[in-house]
A and B are shown apart, each in its own frame.
Chain A
Amino acid sequence: MTSPSATAPTPKGTGTLVDTGAARHSRMLGVGAYRPARVVMNSEIVDKIDSSDEWIRERSGIISRHYAADDESVIDMAEAASRQALEHAGVTPEQIGFVLVATVTHPYQTPAAAPELASRLGSTAPALDISAACAGYCYGVAMASDMVKGGSADYVLVVGVEKLSDFTDPYDRGSAFIFGDGAGACVIGPSDTPGIGPTVWGSDGTQRDAITQKQAWTDVRESWQSAQADKNVWPAIGMAGQTVFRWAVWGMAPVAQQAIDKAGIKADDLDAFIPHQANIRIIDAMVKQLKLPADIPVARDIVTTANTSAASIPIATTRMLAEKEIPSGGLALQIGFGAGLVYAAQVVVLP
């Protein structure tokens, strides 16, 4: 530490930074999805929560979900979805300028999943994970879009992937039936015309308890240090259903509306509404609140994929495009919301 009386040094002033800022538009170039092979029906879930198939369907709309195999990792699923998205986009691994992986179920706190995923794809691009729960994919899309616009990267791979079956408490009546596993991805790159509208996003940390893993990892360690096995804990994810429902419907519908307004379009202009697949009741109530025109296709993949958190929007987008339910080049409103609580919404041009 120099003494306070020393004069501050003068800059040399001989070098000028080159600005690689591209100031260009961005858009989605391709999408991909991966659902694990094993289909788990409600009948497999109900015994441990003293429930029924009908009860689960009424409260969530869920009929079945996919669970990854024991030896199938978040990175395995992400790789499958990413390869499909890269192929759809016509982008090679060497062209990838950044890899963003949105996940909350990669079981390593460090290293992140993204560098290993990049490596498997044959890329050495900068890579990091995003911890924004069910909003993670929309956060990734916003960040990737800005990277492309700003010139930090030409092509960004955005992945949403979860193996929630590893963090589900099968005895928790409030959440045992809700979650599923899967991966979705998109590639974002430069565009001559605007392809990703302004993102409306934010957080409310005062509601951190509304959706949370039940214990901190340090609590898990303490339970393992105790000799009694029945005291062992595992930080499965739990949630306050009513609180989340209120926030998701009446808090998020205005956010979705703002994303429409900021994009400079009207609800009538939309070709698709692809909300995070949290619960069919949330989706239906949000559609009602938004007063969306009845002819706009709405993603309801929750029925057979359950809630795959960060993966739900790209999985739905990929399916709806593949099944020609929504048009390539059309406008889709997507909104993610979840643990944090955090949210992000934007209107995108479909690849």
Chain B
Amino acid sequence: MAQSEQEILEGLAEIVNEETGLDTASVEMDKSFTEDLDIDSLSMMTIVVNAEEKFGVRIPDSEVKNLKTVRDAVTFIAGAQS
């Protein structure tokens, strides 16, 4: 089932909150996972695996390094769902 980008963003923010404790409101489209949200590579992988489960998509290891901003992740998930 394809979700809107806004729905994906909200779902992703919940996952980020659960992993890092960051406020969901701080997870904005143009934020960088590493620079702005201070998420390291292992936390990023945890977020990726939880996103796979939540959104019913597969995010290969080779793709993870391309997900630099929240928007990158939302766009990838939306594309994988369609």
Contacts and interface: CB of A to CB of B under 8 A. Distances in A.
Contacts of A58: 40
A250 B49 contact: yes
Interface in B16-39: none
Contact of A59 (B40, B46, B64): B40
Nearest to B40: A59
A246 B44 contact: no
Interface stretch (A158-166, A186-194, A237-245): A237-245
User: Helix, strand, loop or mixed for chain B's interface?
Assistant: helix
B61 A240 contact: yes
B1 interface: no
Interface residues of B, number: 10
B41 interface: yes
User: Helix, strand, loop or mixed for chain A's interface?
Assistant: helix
B1 to A, nearest CB: 23
A240 B48 CA distance: 16
Interface in A231-258: 240-243, 245-246, 249-250
Interface in A218-276: 240-243, 245-246, 249-250
Contacts of A241: 41-42
B78 interface: no
B61 A59 contact: no
A242 B61 CA distance: 7
Contacts of A303: none
Contacts of A250: 49
B61 A246 contact: yes
B45 interface: yes
Q: How large is the interface on A (under 10, 10 to 19, 20 to 34, 35 or more residues)?
A: 10 to 19
B50 to A, nearest CB: 10
Nearest to B48: A246
Residue among B42, B44, B45, B49 with most chain A CB within 10 A: B42
Contacts of A281: 42
A243 B45 CA distance: 8
Contacts of A243: 61
Interface in A277-312: 279, 281, 285
B63 to A, nearest CB: 11
Contacts of B42: 59, 241-242, 245, 279, 281
A285 B42 CA distance: 10
A241 B41 CA distance: 8
A23 B49 CA distance: 44
Contacts of A59: 40-42
Contacts of A279: 42
A242 B64 contact: yes
Residue among B44, B45, B64 with most chain A CB within 10 A: B45
Nearest to A246: B45
A59 B45 CA distance: 13
A246 B40 contact: no
A245 B40 contact: no
Contacts of B64: 242
Ordered nearest first, which 9 A-B pairs have the shortest CB separation? Answer: A243-B61, A242-B45, A281-B42, A245-B45, A245-B42, A246-B45, A242-B41, A250-B49, A242-B61
Interface of A: 58-59, 240-243, 245-246, 249-250, 279, 281, 285
22 contacts: A58-B40, A59-B40, A59-B41, A59-B42, A242-B42, A242-B44, A242-B45, A242-B61, A242-B64, A243-B61, A245-B41, A245-B42, A245-B45, A246-B45, A246-B48, A246-B61, A249-B46, A249-B49, A250-B49, A279-B42, A281-B42, A285-B46
